[in-house]
Amino acid sequence: MISKEDIRSLLEEALPLVDLDSDFLFSELDSLGVTTILMLLSAHYDITLESEDATPKNLKSLESLAALVEAKLREK
């Protein structure tokens, strides 16, 4: 099971200015931040994340990112 702490440790170094504990993480991100998250998660978990996955619902919080990764891992 992917935890929000797994996601946090992966993203903290790459996105030091982003408040990963924000109530609505998506509002903290610009296009480069979104792209960075998709690329890091794709590479680390060996999954394919597309631009269609970059929705406010999927990028709402660390928990929603963990759920997205879990769903993609199940699809493999």
Question: Residue 58, exposed/middle/buried by CB under 10 A (0-12, 13-18, 19+)?
Answer: buried
Please give the domain boundaries of the chain with CATH numbers for all domains. 4-75 (1.10.1200.10)
Banded model confidence at residue 76, pLDDT cuts 50, 70, 90: confident
Which pLDDT belongs to residue 31? 95
Amino acid at 17: L
Predicted TM-score (pTM) of this structure: 0.94
Amino acid at 26: F
Q: Tens of pLDDT along 3-61? A: 999 999 999 999 999 999 999 999 999 999 999 999 999 999 999 999 999 999 999 99
